[in-house]
Structure 1
Amino acid sequence: MKTLLETLESCLHEAIAKLGLELPDGFPVKVVPAADVRHGDYQANTAMALAKRLKMNPRDLAAQLVEAMDVALLAENEIAGPGFINFRIKKEAWSTKVASLIGDSRLGVPVVENPQNIVVDFSAPNVAKPMHVGHIRSTIIGDSLSRISRFLGHNVTTDNHIGDWGTQFGMVIYGWKNQLDEAALSADPLQELLRIYRSVNALCKEDESIKDACRDELVKLQQGDEENFAIWEKCVEVSKVGLNKIYDRLDVSFDHWLGESYYNDALAPLVEQMQGEGLARESDGALCVFSGETLPPKQDPFKEKRDGEWRDFPMIVRKKDGGFNYATTDIATVDYRLQEWNAQKIWYVVDARQSLHFQQLFDVAKRRGSQAELEHISFGTILGKDGKPLKTRDGDLPQLADVLDDAIKSARSVLEEKSSGLSEAEKETLAKVVGIGSVKFTELSHHRASDYIFDLEKMVALQGDTAPYLQYSFVRVRSIFRKLEEEVALDGEGISIQEDGEVHLARTLAKFGEVLPTVLDGLKPNVLSSYLLDLAKAFHSFFEACPVLKSEGDVRKTRLVLCELTGRVLEKGLGLLGIQVPERM
């Protein structure tokens, strides 16, 4: 199904052809939603941009284009300012659009013409440690982008590239052998692993011999020592159990959990190949990748300015002691994703502090012949009410389980005041839906590059730009249908959009298919969040101005169809953000 926006762009193309005008290669003919609906529903600045190329008067060209356009769905066109074309859609066209949407399982969202194989790398916590508040952004942003991309028709593979191999395991294994509390491990394995890691880490700072002992344990693990490997396997196993408890609460899942350890056997051959190709060379005993010398120093991730001079800043792929690091593993991971999953795009949902690493990684991948589009989907920081990075009173990052518990508790407090007539069991279930939804929506309503303040009181409020407001909007829609005394056929027959409130709601519903694909332009879930808030506001305005159950005939059916579509789009849109909707609140 074509969106109205696509229809208008096609008509504009046809008008340009009818006038015999030649478009320069790559010239955009764009129609966008009007910034102010008082002036129309859509607008285009094509005449202004094209007139400049053709050395014509933009208003004259706009008038010619309007004259040449043959669009049955338009009530009128208006030329504004220096050459803007404003389009106003007929009420009959809104009626036809709503009639088509009620029979469309995709709610007007087109399937992409050229689906891509997209790998989304997100969440990626370290094992042997509980997830903390810093994992919120990667997990929630990555999950929403995966859901949206799949719905649009792309082939998506999600991978939780967990940190299950590295220097911390020397300390964990030493702590396992010397400090482990078996009862505590059974009760809460992640907390016990975190305790022994912290304890040994503190001892390492005080006693060099313990630091050496931890290093020895790590070497034994890397060399395949049976005892240490068995401890490592147990750590990974119990960690996955603990991590999955969080993912289950968040309703997040992955196609694969291919952690760092998965690529161990590929690292030595990879480095040898890179050395043989001349891509990596020795420097101070380590094997490194240096600049390809194709970029200006300011743009080159393998250069840094020191003492007023640009100097080499290489990527180490094999350390002096012969060991490998996460850079080496990441290169091997790219190879695997290209070869095994035929990835055309690989998205890394990782915080902005890793920007330089990914610039180097992407440069290396390109120099090794990768044609895939690699993108770092970076994000900012979660702040406390004091405007500083969110921390506990002890100065630690809050654990994610505690954050979710607090959100559910805050939601329950609000529901106790507002939700009468619900049983205790219903309130408990609802608190989870609202609390978890509030955390997710707060994350996804902000531009991912921005920092935001974590304020539970605002997050769970029923008023404002919050998940509870949207969830309540859905509940309000469903309550209308619970009050119906007879069944109404929700089809496209007899739909007649007349009142301003009906027009505005129909206009907003029609935009779902236009807005959703644009989320992937810049990979910004907040675009969908903003749309859903606009839809909820349009519905509440419609509901106040246009009685539904008290109306009759085709008017009543039309309004019920508008309500049903609102509920469907809210449920689908929130679902694509990973947020559930309740039937009652």
Structure 2
Amino acid sequence: MSSLPSLLSQRVQAVAGADPELRPATKPQFGHFQSNVALRLAKQEGAKPRDVAQRIVDALDLDDLCETPEIAGPGFINFRLRSDVLARTVSDQLADPKAGIAQTTEPKRIVIDYSSPNVAKQMHVGHLRSTIIGDCFRRVLSAQGHTVIAQNHIGDWGRQFGMLIEQINDEKLDLDTLDLPGAEALYRRANAHLNEDEAFAERARERVVKLQSGDPETKAQWQQLISISLAGFNRTYRRMNVLLSDKDVAGESTYNDMLAAVADDLESRGIAVHDSGALVVFVDGFDAPAIIRNSAGGYGYDATDLAAIRHRIDDLDADRIVYVTDARQANHFKLVFSIARRAGYLPDDVQVQHVGFGMVLGPGGTPIKTRDGGTVTLESLLDEAEEHASPQIALAAIKYADLSNSLQKDYVFDAERMTQTTGDTGPYLQYAHSRCAGILREAAARSLVSSDATTITVLDEPAEQELALWLTRFGEMVQVVADELTPHKLCTYLFELATKFSAFYEKCPVLKSDGDVRSSRLALVAATKQVLATGLDLLGIIAPDRM
């Protein structure tokens, strides 16, 4: 479903033969939109701009959308949408539970790889952005009718499990008493033990072999460590209001049985070659090759990610794959994608993209660290924000601060600023929603809401029209975010909506008006509340009715 501005632009372009580059009018008396297309064409044709503008206006058929276009100044064309069309569009949107989000005509199966914490370690600041951003993508694409398959690629395999299990056995530790912070403390003790005791290190290496060969006791302890970790991850996911659950987990161990087949396939076809004892793939344009199998016979991230791509194409039938990780991994994914295309694991018609994100910085503009220089846990960041606001508001502050910036940029984690209910913040949008809810509650309590208060019939004031026009653009903005994976544009849209609603409320009395005017304005309030609630939900933010 095209928005009114998009539809208008298409009509003008069909006549003018060039993009009209519609811009919002600078003043209400100039209508809603203005185009300089006549000036641009006149320069190409060597004609008078007003003559070109008149030619375009005469050929346009916009009666079902606009009042008669006006030519202004040296040749600008001004467009004013019909108020009844605007009113009907917003009324139809209010009747739509999805608030005007167009459902895709070509539903796809989209895999999103995000969050990806490590077993026996608490989630830290580095997982904050991946989790929040991936969850937003999941919500937006699902809302359009796509089948979204989340893949939480947890770190559940590797040599570290040898030292962890040996430490458990040395301490005679009852794993039933362990939670995720306890597992992380165990990890630190095991690592220190490994560095100090060569005999322990040797036993840890032998334990890795036992795990890889499927020793029942070792495998049971490994599985228990995973279960402890997942319980901790899930508590954090619930606290963060993200959609991830156990069914989305597909850790590194998922691909163990596929790695030898990938290596054999690439080698047999001459794509991978032996170099210094390792099996590698050289790709033009990259300084170093991908290591499929190292000289010790072990498989690393390159092989695992290639196996994951095969699985996601062959078994999950993915039409599109999105990876949400630190921007510093961009080169790794470019290399893996290039090899996957070359090997035929990744068909040309499957879109694959790495969405890299910047770092979360402290108030001083440096990476966030604990006082002793350690990694800051994600839970501690949530705690810090909750020192300034309720959990619901603190979470909105964190998510909006993350998503409202261009993803590739670093941003400063400033809990006090982020939790303000004024300015461009998540709590400000929550406040706007609660304000709408409060107006509608008061109208209901005073029996001012009539049966037709969900229909807009009167849009005489410029502030009413400005708000209504912005509401009609919501679906268009969701489409942009889905196509470009740019959640900051949705944040900007919602902030502008809250700002326009505030201007409308100041200039256009709602509860003090009468008849159709009051019913229409209440419907505008309801439509604003609906779009704010839907938009905030796409960001993973709760829209409260009271604050």
Give TM-score, length-normalised by structure 1: 0.86
Say how many residue pairs are matched. 536
The reply to whether residue 264 of structure 1 matches residue 239 of structure 2 is no
CA shift, 1:186, in A, is 4.6
The reply to whether residue 442 of structure 1 matches residue 401 of structure 2 is yes
After superposition, the Cα gap between the structure-2 partners of 1:434 and 1:139, relative to the gap in structure 1 and judged at 3 Å, is same
CA shift, 1:167, in A, is 2.4
The one of 62, 79, 90 aligned to 1:71: 62
The reply to whether residue 235 of structure 1 matches residue 225 of structure 2 is yes
Is the 8 Å Cα contact of residues 385 and 455 (structure 1) preserved in structure 2?
yes
Counterparts of residues 285-296 of structure 1 (less than 5 Å): 285-291=277-283, 293=284
- Distance in 2, Cα, partners of 1:48 & 1:468: 44
Look up the equivalent residue of 1:565 and give its one-letter code: A
After superposition, the Cα gap between the structure-2 partners of 1:467 and 1:553, relative to the gap in structure 1 and judged at 3 Å, is same
The reply to whether residue 407 of structure 1 matches residue 376 of structure 2 is no
Instruction: Report what 1:500 is aligned to.
Output: 462
- Distance in 2, Cα, partners of 1:61 & 1:51: 6
CA shift, 1:57, in A, is 4.7
After superposition, the Cα gap between the structure-2 partners of 1:37 and 1:400, relative to the gap in structure 1 and judged at 3 Å, is farther
After superposition, the Cα gap between the structure-2 partners of 1:164 and 1:463, relative to the gap in structure 1 and judged at 3 Å, is same
CA shift, 1:14, in A, is 4.0
Aligned partner of residue 163 in structure 1, secondary structure: coil
Is the 8 Å Cα contact of residues 455 and 519 (structure 2) preserved in structure 1?
no
Aligned partner of residue 438 in structure 1, secondary structure: helix
Instruction: Report what 1:212 is aligned to.
Output: 202
Look up the equivalent residue of 2:270 and give its one-letter code: G
The reply to whether residue 319 of structure 1 matches residue 294 of structure 2 is yes
Counterparts of residues 520-535 of structure 1 (less than 5 Å): 520-535=482-497
The one of 538, 560, 563 aligned to 2:500: 538
Is the 8 Å Cα contact of residues 8 and 31 (structure 1) preserved in structure 2?
no
CA shift, 1:5, in A, is 2.2
Instruction: Report what 2:306 is aligned to.
Output: 331
- Distance in 1, Cα, partners of 2:256 & 2:456: 65
- Distance in 1, Cα, partners of 2:203 & 2:38: 73
After superposition, the Cα gap between the structure-2 partners of 1:117 and 1:41, relative to the gap in structure 1 and judged at 3 Å, is farther
CA shift, 1:548, in A, is 0.8
After superposition, the Cα gap between the structure-2 partners of 1:197 and 1:37, relative to the gap in structure 1 and judged at 3 Å, is farther
Measured against aligned partners, the alpha-carbon deviations of 1:165-222 in whole angstroms (never above 9, x if no partner) come to 112222222222224643xx55552112211211222333344443333222222211
Is the 8 Å Cα contact of residues 102 and 491 (structure 1) preserved in structure 2?
no
CA shift, 1:76, in A, is 4.9
Gapped regions of structure 1 (runs ≥ 5): 22-27, 294-299, 305-312, 412-430
Moved more, 39-48 or 438-447: 39-48
Measured against aligned partners, the alpha-carbon deviations of 1:407-453 in whole angstroms (never above 9, x if no partner) come to 22320xxxxxxxxxxxxxxxxxxx22112222111111111111111
Look up the equivalent residue of 2:495 and give its one-letter code: L
Measured against aligned partners, the alpha-carbon deviations of 1:494-550 in whole angstroms (never above 9, x if no partner) come to 611011221121122112122111113431111111111111111111111111111
The one of 72, 97, 110 aligned to 2:102: 110
CA shift, 1:582, in A, is 1.6
The one of 480, 485, 488 aligned to 2:439: 480
CA shift, 1:93, in A, is 3.1
After superposition, the Cα gap between the structure-2 partners of 1:62 and 1:325, relative to the gap in structure 1 and judged at 3 Å, is farther
After superposition, the Cα gap between the structure-2 partners of 1:104 and 1:203, relative to the gap in structure 1 and judged at 3 Å, is same
After superposition, the Cα gap between the structure-2 partners of 1:272 and 1:2, relative to the gap in structure 1 and judged at 3 Å, is same
Aligned partner of residue 483 in structure 1, secondary structure: helix
The one of 433, 456, 468 aligned to 2:415: 456
- Distance in 1, Cα, partners of 2:99 & 2:332: 40
Instruction: Report what 1:296 is aligned to.
Output: none
Look up the equivalent residue of 2:56 and give its one-letter code: L
| Identical-residue share of aligned pairs (%) | 40
The one of 104, 113, 127 aligned to 1:121: 113
Is the 8 Å Cα contact of residues 475 and 583 (structure 1) preserved in structure 2?
yes
Instruction: Report what 1:201 is aligned to.
Output: 191
Moved more, 508-517 or 99-108: 99-108
CA shift, 1:388, in A, is 0.3
CA shift, 1:105, in A, is 2.6
- Distance in 1, Cα, partners of 2:167 & 2:235: 24
- Distance in 2, Cα, partners of 1:536 & 1:392: 37
Is the 8 Å Cα contact of residues 98 and 495 (structure 1) preserved in structure 2?
no
Is the 8 Å Cα contact of residues 433 and 581 (structure 1) preserved in structure 2?
no
Is the 8 Å Cα contact of residues 349 and 377 (structure 1) preserved in structure 2?
yes
- Distance in 2, Cα, partners of 1:121 & 1:333: 10
Is the 8 Å Cα contact of residues 121 and 229 (structure 2) preserved in structure 1?
yes
Is the 8 Å Cα contact of residues 144 and 577 (structure 1) preserved in structure 2?
yes
- Distance in 2, Cα, partners of 1:334 & 1:198: 33
Is the 8 Å Cα contact of residues 158 and 256 (structure 1) preserved in structure 2?
yes
- Distance in 2, Cα, partners of 1:545 & 1:492: 21
Measured against aligned partners, the alpha-carbon deviations of 1:262-313 in whole angstroms (never above 9, x if no partner) come to 111111112111111111111111100112x4xxxxxx2x2x2xxxxxxxx1
- Distance in 2, Cα, partners of 1:201 & 1:337: 34
After superposition, the Cα gap between the structure-2 partners of 1:549 and 1:132, relative to the gap in structure 1 and judged at 3 Å, is same
Gapped regions of structure 2 (runs ≥ 5): none
Instruction: Report what 2:182 is aligned to.
Output: 192
Aligned partner of residue 196 in structure 1, secondary structure: helix
Instruction: Report what 2:541 is aligned to.
Output: 579
The one of 147, 157, 164 aligned to 1:155: 147
The reply to whether residue 274 of structure 1 matches residue 266 of structure 2 is yes
